[in-house]
Amino acid sequence: MAEIVTLNDGSFNDAITADKPILVDFWAEWCGPCRVIAPVLEEIASEHDGFSIGKLNVDHNPQTAAAHDVMSIPTLILFQDGVEKKRIVGAAPKHKLMADLAEYVTA
């Protein structure tokens, strides 16, 4: 089971440079599609252990969102060794997310 962590401007760099890849969900409380994708990410986290999932509220952490050119939310970015490997913009069903992340994610 992957762990879901809450990230902020201070913890972000440590999280993306950790040993395990991390899928960061850039979101906001007022964003409808962000609320739709949240349970999908929880389900993915419960089924996979090869990576972490982080959630970064863009309203509370605008510096990090701006530094990574997040223009729309939800934006999901998979980081490995501090490097962006995959970016998914917008809400998508679980099967689409898993297909997009397949080369980076192990069961």
pTM: 0.94
SS3 call for 7? strand
Report the largest interatomic distance among the alpha carbons of the chain, rounded to a whole angstrom.
33
Residue where the block lists tokens 């863009």: 58
Distance CA 98, CA 80 (A): 16
pLDDT of residue 87: 97
Residues 67-94: tens digit of each pLDDT: 999 999 999 999 999 999 999 999 999 9
Distance CA 69, CA 1 (A): 29
- Residue 2 in contact with residue 45, Cβ under 8 Å? yes
pLDDT of residue 103: 85
pLDDT of residue 1: 67
**Active-site annotation holds for 31:** yes
pLDDT of residue 106: 62
Q: What is the CATH number of domain 4-101?
A: 3.40.30.10
Catalytic residue among 34, 58, 76, 78: 34
Catalytic residue among 15, 31, 73, 105: 31
